[in-house]
């Protein structure tokens, strides 16, 4: 579910919302290594970070953010095709309730737990996306 895009990057809400507001940021061109990003892509990515963190702080009051660019899964196949992308996991000191769901960051101030998963229904996912986008909720 698209949140926004820039000339070089596309930001999508992840269906896994164990960390409320979790997004994946994809480079629009094929590129398998961070070292191959050009200056314009890097500068644009910094603008994406600022814009996305601001939107999620305003929407849900995130305390801080974990950013990762791992690409490990690409190498599980015999013919790997890694693609530069980032995961943004908002972190919360306090429990956040949204649409009747309590989001609790039990590892706050520690490394995120990559085994935690919370897939929510599409209607709530749409409401999360719309809130981040700054659209009015009914």
- pLDDT tens track for 50-91: 999 999 999 999 999 999 999 888 899 999 999 999 999 999
Give the chain's mean pLDDT: 95
DSSP conformation letters of 15-66: SB-SSTT-EEEEESS----GGG--HHHHHHHHHHHHHHHHHHHHHH---EEE
Distance CA 42, CA 85 (A): 12
Q: What is the pLDDT of residue 138?
A: 44
Question: Where along the chain do its domains lie?
Answer: 2-133
pTM of the model: 0.94
Average pLDDT over residues 42-51: 98
What CATH architecture is 2-133?
2-Layer Sandwich (3.30)
**pLDDT of res. 136:** 52
């Amino acid at each position: 579910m698209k949140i926004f895009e820039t000339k070089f990057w596309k930001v999508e809400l992840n269906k896994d919302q164990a960390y409320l507001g979790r997004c994946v940021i994809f480079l629009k061109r094929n590129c398998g290594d961070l070292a191959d990003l050009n200056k314009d892509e890097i500068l644009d990515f910094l603008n994406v970070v600022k814009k996305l963190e601001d939107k999620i702080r305003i929407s849900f009051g995130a305390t801080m953010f974990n950013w990762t660019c791992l690409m490990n899964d690409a190498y599980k196949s015999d013919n790997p095709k890694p693609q530069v992308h980032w995961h943004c996991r908002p972190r919360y000191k306090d429990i956040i309730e949204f649409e009747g769901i309590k989001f609790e960051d039990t590892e706050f101030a520690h490394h995120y737990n990559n085994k935690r998963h919370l897939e929510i229904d599409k209607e709530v996912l749409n409401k999360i996306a719309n809130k981040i986008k700054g659209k009015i909720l009914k």
